[in-house]
Chain A
Amino acid sequence: MENTMDIIENPFSKSNNNKGKEIKEKAVIGITQIAVLLIIAILFVILGIIIYQGRDKFSWEFISSFPTDGMTKGGIFPALIGTFILVIVMSIAAVPFGTITAIYLTEYAHEKSKFAAAVRFSIRTLAVVPSIIFGLFGLGFFIQFMGKGMDSTFNGGELHWGQPNILWASLTMALLTLPVIIVSVEEALKTIPRELREASLALGATKWQTIKQVVFPGSISGIMTGTILAVSRGAGEVAPILFTGAAYYLATLPGSLSDQFMNLGYHVYIMSTQSSDVEKTMPIQFATTLVLLILTLSLNLVAVVIRSRIRRKAK
């Protein structure tokens, strides 16, 4: 059998002179496979080491108590609360803004509208601008321009808003996370079938009524995904709040929007680079990193699950 096949040189036959090719083929595929495995391995190594090193210190007490002894002992409660306040204020600012922009892009913008193209381009640019630039912008715009402006008009020049605080840090973070929200909401809006919109319009509803009562309710899950992803991102970013409101150590929790705050990511940064005794506080640093990682990864996981559900529904 094999001999006859070889005579007509069947390209599909697996004869001896093809063996070299086969090995090469396997090697090439193997290399790409190794790349995938390597990336996944690195990911789990990072996760594993941080969990391993942080697990001793990680406890309810650690999460719920204040740092003591010049931050060489105690917990991370204020940093956690600071991060929560930051992401809440950030979401309040970014979610409506992002949702409305996404509604514009899917519902109102014409396919070939130059304006919509410019909006899309700006959003993508916003997504790639380095996070430190947002920090500079927060300092130059929110603190120097808005804050100082508010002080000179309302407070008679007394410094109140013209310095780093939660509000400015949150707004800076809101700008950073805006693209995340817009993209998720847009994706969710696109999964709403055209027929639903057309049915609503055919029944005599106006465009705004359609959006309000048909499109918007269908996009709630998308808004949730976007918000969760944005919170996950905002909780982890440090560069934008370096000079817009994060504080090294505060003895009390922030009482108003014009206070500074502690932040988990910033806490990790200063503890590992500027602490009085980096070696001694190592367990605290790993445990803080672990808390931050659990926070961001679990939020991300929830978002991924919701998103895949939306996609499945769309199919």
Chain B
Amino acid sequence: MNSPLPKEPTFTKESLKKQFRLSEFLAEKVISSVAFLSIAIIFLIFIFVFKESLPLFSAAEKVQVQTETQTITGATVETYGSETSTESEPETYGEPAESLEPETYGTPTEELNPVAEESSEPETYGTVTEDLNPDSASEEVVAVDEKVTQNNEGEDRTWSTFFTTEWVPVSDNPRFGLIALLIGTLKVTLIAMLIAGPLAILAAVYTSCFASNRRKEIIKPIIEMLAAFPSVVIGFFAMMVLATFFQDIFGYDSRLNAFIGGVAMALAAIPIIYTISEDALSAVPKTYTEASLALGASKAQTAFSVILPAATPGIFAALLLGVGRVFGETMIALMATGNAALLSANPFESVRTFAATIGSEMAETVFGETHYSVLFFIGSLLFIFSFILNAVAEFYVKGKLIKKFQGK
């Protein structure tokens, strides 16, 4: 019984201690820093999209800088804050103008002196679309030239035009009425959600509550296949087929309009709403269903008055993400909504959404112009909006679901 301990136990405290291995340590660090990058990307996206819209916020400083630099004609100025101001470079696209850059110390603004446009031809960004839209391209040259003369007041006016209803970015008196775009975006989103929401949720209810397992296995992949349709294909289909089809039925004037855009976007939103609501409905504990059926409720009663209410937070999340998808959808909006920033409540009028505005106009702007900054500003708005939607869907909904199912 009292057998003495061996003098040298096989496992000493020392040998059981986790050994420090350099390769292990490095592997873990490298892997977690790669994982960290995905957090960094979110920040970078926000920073770099927002950064390009910064000139809007420093309009006052900008005027000051312009007066300083206006004396040196023909020079392109770009200052990236203080840390890069020493290596600032010419910024006109496609035309590397060799010129001296006057340094502007202490003004963290990033801009393109419009004076430069007089000497160097304004090259539009994507040279490809330039020759396709001869109207807008030539219009822009005029606009840029004219802007030089009245730039100072123009800069100050940008902000105040945000809350007007006219979106006329390219003219001698540019107006950036975001309200018109906002109304257009909301209109399309509303139409799309009115179609996609009920349809997708009903389909999800059928799949998770009524369908047999075999049917479920067929239905789910097919509807999810709709998610694999590229948005450009849906946009193309809406533009070529749906637009003509609905025009024959309703007989409205503008072939491409908010309604067509909404229908097409509903097609893009359906798989998202369907998949997430189906998950939410399937996550409702089996005991709920069994209890309800045991009390004598029918299948349909169980589905609509027990399972559906229990899954409300998840379905709410599904709808939120559907809204996010529709709100930021670019290609469908570009192709199917007609792209005219009209202000009307009629669903059969053309509209212009935020995302489509960025998509169609970015190629025609000049780096550093007010228009360019405004488009990036719209981009930051879209980013913030989708970020908030996702955060709400994530935290609020998840918290509620967990509480509900754990009976707290």
Contacts and interface: CB of A to CB of B under 8 A. Distances in A.
Interface of A: 11-12, 21, 24-25, 28-29, 31-36, 38-40, 42-43, 46, 49-50, 97, 100-101, 103-105, 107-109, 115-116, 118-119, 121-126, 128-137, 139-141, 144-145, 148, 151-152, 157-159, 163-164, 175, 178, 182, 206-208, 211, 232, 235-239, 242-243, 246-249, 265-266, 268-270, 272-274, 282, 285-286, 289, 292-293, 296-297, 300-301, 304
A265 B232 CA distance: 6
Contact of A141 (B24, B48, B230, B363): B48
18 contacts: A21-B298, A28-B303, A36-B202, A36-B211, A39-B200, A105-B35, A115-B36, A119-B36, A121-B394, A124-B394, A125-B391, A139-B52, A152-B87, A175-B41, A239-B355, A242-B330, A243-B126, A274-B129
A268 B225 contact: no
Contacts of A300: 225, 228
Counting chain B CB atoms within 10 Å of each CB, the highest count among A35, A131, A135 belongs to: A35
Nearest to B372: A139
A282 B240 contact: yes
B32 A108 contact: yes
Contacts of A137: 44-45, 48-49
B289 interface: no
B38 A119 contact: yes
Contact of B231 (A97, A109, A236): A236
Please name the 9 residue pairs, one residue from A and one from B, whose CB atoms are nearest each other, closest first.
A130-B328, A236-B230, A248-B128, A32-B206, A35-B202, A104-B35, A28-B300, A300-B228, A239-B330
Contacts of B93: 163
A257 to B, nearest CB: 18
Interface string B133-167: 10000000000000000000000000000000000
B203 A128 contact: no
A34 B301 CA distance: 18
Given A104-B32, A208-B24, A289-B233, A133 B38 contact: no
B386 A272 contact: no
A236 B232 contact: yes
A129 B233 contact: no
Contacts of A32: 202-203, 205-206, 209-210, 303
B233 A36 contact: no
Contacts of B386: 125, 128-130, 133
A137 B40 CA distance: 13
Interface residues of B, number: 102
Contact of A28 (B35, B48, B221, B304): B304
Given A129-B45, A269-B334, A242 B390 contact: no
A258 to B, nearest CB: 14
B296 interface: yes
B335 interface: yes
Given A128-B321, A208-B27, A133 B205 contact: no
Contacts of A103: 31
Interface in B260-302: 267, 270, 274, 296, 298-301
Given A43-B226, A136-B52, A293-B229, 18 more contacts: A29-B299, A35-B206, A42-B267, A104-B31, A123-B38, A130-B328, A132-B359, A136-B375, A145-B48, A158-B96, A164-B126, A175-B41, A207-B24, A248-B132, A265-B232, A272-B239, A286-B240, A297-B225
Interface stretch (B67-75, B170-178, B376-384): B376-384
B39 A122 contact: yes
Interface in B317-372: 321, 324-325, 327-331, 334-335, 355, 358-359, 362-363, 367
A36 B207 contact: yes
Nearest to A130: B328
Nearest to B93: A163
Nearest to A235: B230
Contacts of A97: 34, 37
B35 A242 contact: no
Contacts of A35: 198-200, 202-203, 206
A140 B376 contact: yes
A157 B90 CA distance: 8
Contacts of B303: 28, 32
A144 B288 CA distance: 56
A11 to B, nearest CB: 4
B222 interface: yes
A152 B231 CA distance: 37
A139 B87 CA distance: 20
A175 B40 CA distance: 12
A50 B237 contact: yes
A175 B48 CA distance: 14
B32 A272 contact: no
Given A104-B31, A122-B42, A29 B389 contact: no
